[in-house]
Amino acid sequence: MTAIPSTRFTSITRPIVRSVTPLAEVPAQLGHITTFIIDTVAGIRHVATTYRRQTLLYIHEFAWGRGAVLVGGGTAVVLVILGMAVGASILDLSSGAYPCLSGSD
């Protein structure tokens, strides 16, 4: 079986399409993110009033662990360290150090 070259995009228009396509997806991604944030913020009041005690227990547990601040800290410290590590790895990926992981061919 032989491949037939596409006539939809020529060698002149192909680079333009490749550069414009990711830009066209940005509004859709921003819309999803915005909708998620609005739904989350709108639900805070309902959760805080309906499940007040459980919410406070979870916030306390999340921030301080099982009360052993001196022994091992809480989850907040671990999340800060993990956040810094993930941020550093994202910066490392965006710098082009790992072209096989960047998604571009």
> Following DSSP, what letter does each residue of 50-69 receive, concatenated?
HTHHHHHHHHHHHHHTTS-T
Out of 38-42, 49-53, 54-58, 77-81, pick the least confident.
Answer: 77-81
Q: Establish if 4 belongs to a structural domain.
A: no
Q: Establish if 45 belongs to a structural domain.
A: yes
Mean pLDDT confidence for 76-97: 73
Q: Establish if 53 belongs to a structural domain.
A: yes
Spell out the residues 6+ positions from residue 77 whose beta carbon is closer than 8 angstroms to its own.
none
Q: Which domain holds residue 66?
A: 13-97
pLDDT > 80? residue 24 = no
Q: Establish if 103 belongs to a structural domain.
A: no
Counted residue by residue, the chain has a size of: 105
For helices 52-64 and 75-94, give the axis angle rounded to 10 degrees.
Answer: 70
Average pLDDT over the chain, rounded to whole? 74
Q: Establish if 102 belongs to a structural domain.
A: no
pLDDT in tens, 28-48: 788 888 999 999 899 888 888
Q: Establish if 2 belongs to a structural domain.
A: no
In our burial notation (b when 16+ CB lie closer than 10 A, e otherwise), range 2-14 reads eeeeeeeeeeeee
The domain tally of the chain equals 1
Q: How confident is the model at residue 101 (pLDDT cuts 50, 70, 90)?
A: low
